[in-house]
Structure 1
Amino acid sequence: MARSNTLSQIHTQIMWNRLIAVVEEQAQTLIRTAFSPIVRECGDLSAGVFDLRGRMLAQAVTGTPGHVNSMAESVRHFLRHFPVETMEEGDIYITNDPWMGTGHLNDFVLTTPCFHHGKLVALLSCTSHLMDIGGIGFGPDGTDVFMEGLYIPMLKLAERGQMNQTLLAMIRANTRLPVDTEGDVYSLAACNDVGCKRLSEMMDEFRLDSLDDLAEHIIHHSREAVLAEIARLPKGSWTHRMRIDGFDQPIDLHATVTVSEKSIHVAYDGTSPASSKGINVPIAYTTAYTCFGLGCVVAAQIPNNAGSLEPLTVSAPPGTILNAPYPLPVSSRHITGQMLPDMVFGCLRQVVPERVPAEGTSCLYNMTFRGPSADKPDSKYGFAVTITSNGGTGARPAKDGLSATAYPSGVRGTPVEIAESVTPLLFWRKELRADSAGAGHTRGGLGQIIEIESADGLPVELLAAFDRIDHPPRGREGGGDGASGTVGLASGLVMKGKGSQMVPPGERLIIQTPGGAGIGDPNTRPRDQVAADLRDGLVSAEAAARLYGATAAAAE
């Protein structure tokens, strides 16, 4: 009997792993077919499979936490609007509602009911970032969500296999990039179609006519694994505060993490009120990145699904910047929301300091440009593009931070070759920023220096949405702060960190992304590591002497 039970457990685990492989192929389909460079080159997407109760069973390894964890809420909203008993084979549902989707209008969420031999067995869902959906564009200047672009409520994109041509026409008419935008909608639909096909093949292979038993196994074991990790933590409450730049005034983030026997709750009471500009965060996105931060510390080895997320809860007072009500502007919600893992780490470093890093750049340094093109003289917007980049992550207790790495988002940087091939932009420099890392026993990661010019002599509009300029990442336990970010022109003009601004013809835009903060006394950093940083040009001789008390010769 024990042998039979063991074999059954192994068999179930194999099916679980196969389910993860199914949704990974789903995500790779999206990458390979997407029109937007931010998806096909950088992986700004999510994909997952859900049971008929709307519980996430598996997510693709490829994808961002903000998309995956907030998409899980979207599926529940779809089920409210389209009950399972009304679903038919060939139906596809769509929305970009920030409060029922992934936090801003540029992310489209598609959910497709999956039928196996004529029986509804699951829901496949995916999300990706679309480059342009009209309005003022992908920047924080709006004063309400209606300024920020096309708003799609919960609708049917397809009914019994027939695409909604009226809706597609509306989408095409409300974007500066109609071909790319419509292409990305079809890419999302294809992504779910492949997921459905592979899921049905898996069920045939394992002779399943339902996912119910597998779903219960996944949810139960994931939840129990997280509860076991929570049981090992000290019980109590810990608080942390952090100030970030905001739009026209600083934003204060306050968090309290409470660890009890069966859960971890994060409350953001005391956080600043909502902004008049588009840096506000809907609660689903707040929850997504908060739970990701908790998961990194508490449940790093446990697959992400409804079971592993269940013991992790989040609250923020309505009307604060982390629980912004409709219809406030939310286009650049990532600027604020991606700081939340640092808030969680600030609380948990008082409990398990050996598990958490110092503060990093955290929020993506997305460079959104648009403007005319010499080969499209009659078009006001010859191009519109978002080029992803980032600064350094915070130092880890036993390792240095990562340089030019998008943590916590996980989005890859846009290759220069791709950016230059789809825009009239010329990159003169894109290199690591020496001396930007916060010093410490373990240092932070380095930021970047990026120098860009319009290649065709026409003005370019920058939709700036950057942070950590006035309030850089903070070191801990004697470690140094990371370097602040900067935005300006080569001629010396300092530009704002947020808001639409013009780069005149012939000028070069220079962006310096922040460095991550350090941990521990810099004087205790091993000499061979200081020498290696000097040799590699990551720290100058002057900074090495000033921060580490080391000359180049002594370090060698």
Structure 2
Amino acid sequence: MTTNALLTDAQQEIHFQIMWNRLIAVVGEQARVLIRTAFSPIVRECEDISAGVFDPHGRMVAQAVTGTPGHVNSMAESVGHFLRHFPIESMKEGDAYITNDPWMGTGHLNDFVITTPAFYRGKLVALFSCTGHLMDIGGLGNGPDATDVFMEGLSIPMLKLVDQGRVNETLMAMICANTRLPVDTEGDTYSLIACNDAGVEALCSMMDEFGIETIEPLTDYIIDRSRRAVLEKIAALPKGSWSYTMTVDGYDAPLDLKAALTIAEDGVSVSYAGSPPAIKRGINVPLAYTKAYTVFGLACAISPDIPNNAGSFALYRVDAPVGSVLNAQRPAPVSSRHIIGQMLPDMVFGCLRTPLPDRVPAEGTSCLWNITVRGRWKPDDGARETQVFALAITTNGGTGARPKLDGLSATAFPSGVRGTPVEIAENQCPLIFWKKELREGSGGSGQTCGGDGQVMEIGTTNDDAFELLAAFDRVKYPPRGALGGGDGAAGIVKTSKGRSLSSKGLHIIAPDERLHLLTPGGGGLGTP
């Protein structure tokens, strides 16, 4: 099956559609390899990843349907940075490139991005890229306490990781020497390499099957078709400008986020002018991550049925003042950039509530309530020595009420990651979950109600204390209801001994006390 000038337009359309679906299956296979081979539970169990295929110009053509918007949409920009550092003509079969630069990757150091050129019969035809969250890359750890990016861990600039099939052992040794979990970190890095290799192999099989020498006509079709489809969606929308403001907890003081959204004939733009300057703690957001979640919010409301690629992204424009908390500049600390970054779909929905009230939900918990813990233990597996553990246990609050449906309880939106199973967490570290249940009634009231959060009670089986790297929000300023709906319940962080803990920062949980977490509920929609 191939593109052919003798085919009718309808036949050509069918051929392209079949190959487009097959290409999405290719990147789906790429993603499954990463998930199945990863060492970190946040990848293996929660699918905190991205995987996609790009054309030689760096345009994203297709993405795996699993993964997080923060990874996928910022990875879309990172491939362009790889091409600036490693021109196409310099790439060889068997090469692979790596970075975790927050400003050229996906927003913080814990995410490794690997890009691999795909050759077919000796010719470079595409690029595969993937991202995975690694549990520990040194420094202060994955929390917001650092005052610059240098404190947050190992930084890998744009480097060649694999040279024509030979792994850069010096670079790999440097990576392993700068983590508390060298085995996991090395294993995760190899899983990222392997998943791109699987994508290359699957693409070559696809090209053999369809009898094509290049995917360029297909990529042009996908990008052009997607762009036109989004433009049609925008053409049907009311035109104008709307604004929204949201107060979030911040670190030491609350922050007022501001957005202005404009729908015009040629696209939709969102400006965060007026948002506060970057702060001295690691909740700042690089612009690529700001764009990622803003565009995701726009796509959810305007073009949810159109696949993500360079064409469907092209008509959404995002900007934020240089040096602001939503466009932080190096060397600002950014480790917990998800706290504010994942609020941005709610900002978009707030702007769209006037022109599109039947499409957008009330505010939800939005930012993940990851329980990031660290310490030492001696597992019951015959190990002779005490070992270091470091784990991010993914948990969530309630989502905002929807126009015709209640919000979802204990569900990650907009990130989309899965919750870490209790059995996995208790196997990976000495914690024990004494309680994990829905926080009934925590969702805001309304014609449709917000989703409920969770109640968790966590202790340790160790004789030693464990560290909690808190990075929570919606504690002082809970998710707001809309159109007369009630607010969701605020989050709570405390211990069994009555200690009230701040929502951000390092806490020591003694072996004779338990951590109590109550995640927020989503806002309600409409007068009850």
TM-score range, shorter chain: over 0.9
Matched letter for residue 294 of structure 1: L
Match status 1:508 vs 2:523 = no
Q: Which of these residues, 111, 117, 134, is aligned with residue 113 of structure 1?
A: 117
Task: List 4+ stretches of structure 1 deviating above 3 A.
Answer: 374-379
Q: Counterpart of 2:269 in 1: which secondary structure?
A: strand
What CA deviation, in whole Å up to 9, does each residue of 1:6-62 have, x standing for no partner? 111001100000000000110010000000000000000000000000000000001
User: How far did 1:456 drift?
Assistant: 1.7
Q: TM-score, normalised by structure 1?
A: 0.93
Could you tell me which residue of structure 1 aligns to residue 161 of structure 2? Answer: 157
What CA distance in whole angstroms lies between the structure 1 residues aligned with 2:121 and 2:457?
Answer: 56
Could you tell me which residue of structure 2 aligns to residue 136 of structure 1? Answer: 140
Match status 1:366 vs 2:370 = yes
Q: Counterpart of 1:354 in 2: which secondary structure?
A: coil
Could you tell me which residue of structure 2 aligns to residue 539 of structure 1? Answer: none
Where do residues 202-241 of structure 1 align in structure 2 (5 Å cutoff)? 202-241=206-245
Q: Counterpart of 1:479 in 2: which secondary structure?
A: coil
Matched letter for residue 362 of structure 1: S
Match status 1:462 vs 2:433 = no
What CA deviation, in whole Å up to 9, does each residue of 1:175-198 have, x standing for no partner? 000000000000000000000000
Match status 1:188 vs 2:192 = yes
Match status 1:14 vs 2:18 = yes
Where do residues 481-492 of structure 1 align in structure 2 (5 Å cutoff)? 481-492=487-498
Matched letter for residue 37 of structure 2: T
- For the 8 Å contact 2:378–2:385, the answer to whether it is kept is no
Q: Counterpart of 2:78 in 1: which secondary structure?
A: helix
What CA distance in whole angstroms lies between the structure 2 residues aligned with 1:505 and 1:398?
Answer: 46
Q: Counterpart of 1:313 in 2: which secondary structure?
A: strand
Could you tell me which residue of structure 1 aligns to residue 431 of structure 2? Answer: 425
Q: Which of these residues, 297, 304, 307, is aligned with residue 300 of structure 1?
A: 304
User: How far did 1:341 drift?
Assistant: 0.1
Q: Counterpart of 1:197 in 2: which secondary structure?
A: helix
What CA deviation, in whole Å up to 9, does each residue of 1:127-169 have, x standing for no partner? 0000000000000000000000000000000001000000000
User: How far did 1:416 drift?
Assistant: 0.2
Q: Which of these residues, 123, 128, 137, is aligned with residue 127 of structure 2?
A: 123
- Flag the structure with higher helix content: 1
What CA distance in whole angstroms lies between the structure 2 residues aligned with 1:112 and 1:491?
Answer: 52
Could you tell me which residue of structure 2 aligns to residue 542 of structure 1? Answer: none
User: How far did 1:2 drift?
Assistant: 11
What CA distance in whole angstroms lies between the structure 1 residues aligned with 2:9 and 2:441?
Answer: 58
User: How far did 1:519 drift?
Assistant: 0.5
What CA deviation, in whole Å up to 9, does each residue of 1:241-272 have, x standing for no partner? 00000000001100000111011000000101
Matched letter for residue 446 of structure 1: D
Match status 1:494 vs 2:470 = no
What CA deviation, in whole Å up to 9, does each residue of 1:527-548 have, x standing for no partner? xxxxxxxxxxxxxxxxxxxxxx
What CA distance in whole angstroms lies between the structure 2 residues aligned with 1:377 and 1:311?
Answer: 58
User: How far did 1:506 drift?
Assistant: 1.3
Could you tell me which residue of structure 1 aligns to residue 273 of structure 2? Answer: 269
User: How far did 1:3 drift?
Assistant: 7.7
RMSD of aligned Cα (Å): 1.1
Could you tell me which residue of structure 1 aligns to residue 525 of structure 2? Answer: 519
Could you tell me which residue of structure 2 aligns to residue 552 of structure 1? Answer: none
Q: Counterpart of 1:230 in 2: which secondary structure?
A: helix
What CA distance in whole angstroms lies between the structure 1 residues aligned with 2:453 and 2:224?
Answer: 42
Could you tell me which residue of structure 1 aligns to residue 450 of structure 2? Answer: 444
Q: Which of these residues, 91, 102, 126, is aligned with residue 98 of structure 1?
A: 102
Could you tell me which residue of structure 1 aligns to residue 41 of structure 2? Answer: 37
Aligned length: 521
- Which segments of 5 or more consecutive residues in structure 1 lack a partner in the other structure? 523-556
Could you tell me which residue of structure 1 aligns to residue 326 of structure 2? Answer: 322
Q: Which of these residues, 141, 145, 151, is aligned with residue 149 of structure 2?
A: 145
Match status 1:415 vs 2:421 = yes
Match status 1:64 vs 2:76 = no
Q: Which of these residues, 451, 472, 485, is aligned with residue 479 of structure 1?
A: 485
What CA distance in whole angstroms lies between the structure 1 residues aligned with 2:238 and 2:465?
Answer: 57
- Which segments of 5 or more consecutive residues in structure 2 lack a partner in the other structure? none
Q: Counterpart of 1:372 in 2: which secondary structure?
A: strand
What CA distance in whole angstroms lies between the structure 1 residues aligned with 2:439 and 2:215?
Answer: 50
Q: Counterpart of 2:39 in 1: which secondary structure?
A: coil
User: How far did 1:300 drift?
Assistant: 0.2
Q: Counterpart of 2:128 in 1: which secondary structure?
A: strand
Match status 1:50 vs 2:54 = yes
What CA distance in whole angstroms lies between the structure 2 residues aligned with 1:302 and 1:53?
Answer: 22
Q: Counterpart of 2:114 in 1: which secondary structure?
A: strand
Q: Which of these residues, 85, 88, 99, is aligned with residue 84 of structure 1?
A: 88
Identity %: 65
Match status 1:388 vs 2:394 = yes
User: How far did 1:335 drift?
Assistant: 0.3
User: How far did 1:477 drift?
Assistant: 1.1
What CA distance in whole angstroms lies between the structure 1 residues aligned with 2:164 and 2:46?
Answer: 33
Q: Counterpart of 2:318 in 1: which secondary structure?
A: strand
User: How far did 1:377 drift?
Assistant: 8.6
Matched letter for residue 67 of structure 1: H
What CA distance in whole angstroms lies between the structure 2 residues aligned with 1:344 and 1:335?
Answer: 16
What CA distance in whole angstroms lies between the structure 1 residues aligned with 2:463 and 2:46?
Answer: 28
- For the 8 Å contact 2:100–2:155, the answer to whether it is kept is yes
